[in-house]
Amino acid sequence: MTKPSPVDPHAFPDEQAAESALRPGSLAEFRGQPRVADQLGLVLDASKHRGTVPDHVLLSGPPGLGKTTLAMIIASEMGAPIRISSGPAIQHAGDLAAILSGLVEGEVFFLDEIHRMSRPAEELLYLAMEDFRVDVIVGKGPGATAIPLEIPPFTLVGATTRAGLLPGPLRDRFGFTAQLDFYETPAIEHILVRSAGVLGIQLRPEAAAEIARRSRGTPRIANRLLRRVRDYAQVKADGRVTEPIARAALELYEVDELGLDRLDRGVLEAVCKRFGGGPVGLSTLAISVGEEAETVEEVAEPFLVRQGFLMRTQRGRVATEAGWRHLGLTPPTSGAPGPDLFS
């Protein structure tokens, strides 16, 4: 196992406290995703106006874009408590029934990774979402009876990185659904400036821009890079984060101008230099960079593809012209070699 990369979008186990400190507490402070924030604001205002609990909310999108943050904001905007759990933690319907029956009126129930819940729990959730009721099964076999149990009205906030995996009947029970997208660089700059304020870091605007460009449109990565750059500034300079300090720190952490890390560059370099631009199969590629095929496929490739540096074709991975150029290499032909050149 290689050590975690600073541009991994997943949260590290020791990062929770640092992340909590940087969560914006209100919709007004939540930067980026303007459409989602506006629509959600309307849903919350309307429910306050009517004096009812807000509709159930489904948030989908890649890790680190603010799903948990938005769930907490919904609770705080409604002045309601929040209960947090996750799909993998709920293996039996009884686990879910216990949580639901313990909710207080108006509580926000945040269910992360909702697509990983067990089937029986999912069915129990349908009823709870629709009728604020759960059926508790007493006894076993033919003598088993279902005793309906009222639960107080609550708002379910479901989060998923894989909206496509949710069964239709579950998706249909959410009154409001939002897809979070990668952030534009200026929004990430705003987030960095706010985080620097919270952490008491003197961050020059050019340095914020530099870090933002390398953050892959992901607030979690931006905040993490900011903390690393701050460490560097404190140890190697006077603590102020200037552009040269940010550049030097990010170079040390092997995060390049566009946010590629060592693994991303290694994969791209292998495709270009060792395999003539491709196509090369995933397992061969993984062996050549000394990584698991899964890591190459799930960690490095999505960003390389998003950047337009790599293509996944039926016959293997192919570097694009932009990919060659990002490494400072000249593509072998006017464009990247197409799969047909290698037949």
Ligand X SMILES: Nc1ncnc2c1ncn2[C@@H]1O[C@H](COP(=O)(O)OP(=O)(O)OP(=O)(O)O)[C@@H](O)[C@H]1O
Residues contributing to the annotated binding site for DNA = 312, 317
Strand partners, 134: 149
CA 261 from centre of chain = 18
**Is 273 labeled as catalytic in the residue annotation?**
no
**Is 140 labeled as catalytic in the residue annotation?**
no
DSSP secondary structure, 22-47, as one string: T---SGGG--S-HHHHHHHHHHHHHH
Where does this chain bind ligand X (CB under 6 A)?
10-11, 19, 22-24, 30-32, 63-69, 112, 161, 191, 219-220, 223
In the complex, minimum distance from the CB of residue 170 to ligand X, in angstroms, rounded to a whole number: 18
Taking the C-alpha atoms of residue 139 and residue 120, their distance in angstroms, rounded to an integer, is 17
Q: How many CB atoms lie within 10 A of CB 281?
A: 14
Local structure of 133: helix, strand or coil: strand
Annotated binding site for ATP: 22-23, 64, 67-69, 130-132, 173, 183, 220
22 versus 166: smaller Cβ distance to ligand X: 22
Catalytic annotation, pick one of 8, 55, 68, 230:
68
**Is 112 labeled as catalytic in the residue annotation?**
yes
66 versus 87: smaller Cβ distance to ligand X: 66
Catalytic annotation, pick one of 31, 55, 67, 160:
67
Catalytic annotation, pick one of 31, 214, 216, 220:
220
Catalytic annotation, pick one of 8, 31, 55, 112:
112
Local structure of 310: helix, strand or coil: strand
In the complex, minimum distance from the CB of residue 25 to ligand X, in angstroms, rounded to a whole number: 10
**Is 238 labeled as catalytic in the residue annotation?**
no
In the complex, minimum distance from the CB of residue 136 to ligand X, in angstroms, rounded to a whole number: 30
> What burial letters (b/e) apply to 177-206, b meaning 16+ CB within 10 Å?
bbebebbeeebbbbbbbebbeeeebebbee
**Is 162 labeled as catalytic in the residue annotation?**
no
Q: Catalytic residues, which ones? A: 67-68, 112, 161, 220
